[in-house]
Amino acid sequence: MRLERVEVRQVSLPLRFAFETSFGRTTEKEFLLVSASADGVTGHAECVADVDPFYLPETNATVLHVLRDFLVPLVFGLDLPHPADVLPAFARVRGHEMAKAVLEMAVWELWSRREGAPLHRVLGGRPGRIAAGVSIGLQKDEATLLERVAVETAAGYRRVKVKIKPGRDLALVEAIRARYPDLPLMVDANSAYTLDDVSHLARLDPFGLTMIEQPLAWDDIVDHATLARQLRTPICLDESIRSADDARRALDLGACRIVNVKVGRVGGFSGAIAVHDVCRARGIPVWCGGMLESGIGRLANVHLQTLPGFTLPGDTAASARYFDEDLVDPPVEVAPDGTIAVPEGPGIGHEIVWPRVERATRRVETWTRP
């Protein structure tokens, strides 16, 4: 397959609720939507980069630059036997996993549309339903947080994740546990702690959390291994894992017992499958993270987590939690039993509502094969 055209849109969608983490607060989902065309078929993918480099180093501007000046010219020079050949072809470009991922994912989506197959089938997953979990941001007070937990558990979500940061951790976990003794509950610190906090973090142990996600630095695995030896709560890594090699090294060191897989953080579907495979071979459970995606990225996540190693509920929640009007029809819905249907149509499997995409588009840039 030879790509003929790549288009990037800068899209801006208002979020229904501000989402606050230890690194910042988001009120608007501003992302790049990439469309790749070959032989009269077009595939689409959503980038997980944000306007700022507060989660990981990439931003929408760096992604646009790396796509325009490096990755797109590079793919135009290739004849691709399969989408799995895209990520290896990007090897010379160091880092920039989010930029690599969005182009790679668009090629997989295009490929599955050409095959008339749902994404999960070309990725090697299975049809059916997936288990949904929910990620709750930092709230203004404990009462508001408890109210959010009540709403989400009533909606059926199979596990609850809450964001924590120094000063906003033990009391909030204690309050949730007091009211929900058996709820599968976890916390995500987004790198807000250091090894000076070991004894403080160990005070989470009595609450029986399923895991603590990324307590230490975004680029660390060594300190996480040190911390892991002093905690009973399993550590899950998010930010620190940006390739299958990162996962292998983290597991060799004992830095984590669970891995959060985000397609956009590991260079695309090939990277995500590779991380999944490394973990599965060692009996390490993985789950699919989220980045407040619109339906386009959200559905990509739904398909990914049909692979057999995704044994824990992910952060893939209903479109309606984020947006008044999602970009796909139907929106992603969560059934009362806390599951999401895996679409059977070609590609992501739901229609993209182009008039809504147009309204949300701020700029478009198009490149054609020379």
Residue ranges in 233-272 that form contacts with ligand OSB under rule CB under 6 A: 238
Cα separation, 298 vs 116, whole angstroms? 20
Comparing every residue's Cβ against ligand OSB, the nearest one is 290
Is residue 317 within the footprint of ligand OSB (CB under 6 A)?
yes
Which residue of 97, 104, 169, 238 would you call a contact of Mg ion, by CB under 5 A?
238
CB of 289 to ligand OSB, least distance (A): 5
Cα separation, 52 vs 29, whole angstroms? 12
Which residue of 125, 289, 309, 343 would you call a contact of ligand OSB, by CB under 6 A?
289
Is residue 290 within the footprint of ligand OSB (CB under 6 A)?
yes
CB of 134 to ligand OSB, least distance (A): 7
- Count the residues in the chain: 370
- Residue 184 DSSP one-character state: -
| Catalytic residue list contains 262 | yes
CB of 252 to ligand OSB, least distance (A): 24
Beta bridge partners of 365: 8
CB of 133 to ligand OSB, least distance (A): 9
Amino acid 61 reads A
Residue ranges in 38-57 that form contacts with ligand OSB under rule CB under 6 A: 55
CB of 216 to ligand OSB, least distance (A): 14
Q: Which is nearer to Mg ion, 24 or 77 (CB)?
A: 24
Q: Which is nearer to Mg ion, 60 or 260 (CB)?
A: 260
Cα separation, 279 vs 309, whole angstroms? 8
Beta bridge partners of 286: 259, 310
Beta bridge partners of 33: 9, 46
CA distances 146 to 114, 290, 292, 321, Å, are 46, 22, 21, 17
Question: CB 345: neighbour CB atoms within 10 A?
Answer: 14
Buried b (16+ CB within 10 A) or exposed e, 177-206: beeeeebbbbbbbbbbbebebbeebeebee
Helix (H) or strand (E) segment spanning residue 73: helix 72-76
Q: Which is nearer to ligand OSB, 260 or 270 (CB)?
A: 260
Q: Which does 291 bind (CB under 5 to 8 A by kind): ligand OSB, Mg ion, none?
A: ligand OSB
Which residue of 46, 188, 220, 246 would you call a contact of Mg ion, by CB under 5 A?
188
Which residues does the annotation mark as catalytic? 163, 262
The footprint of ligand OSB (CB under 6 A) covers 55, 135, 188, 190, 238, 289-292, 315, 317
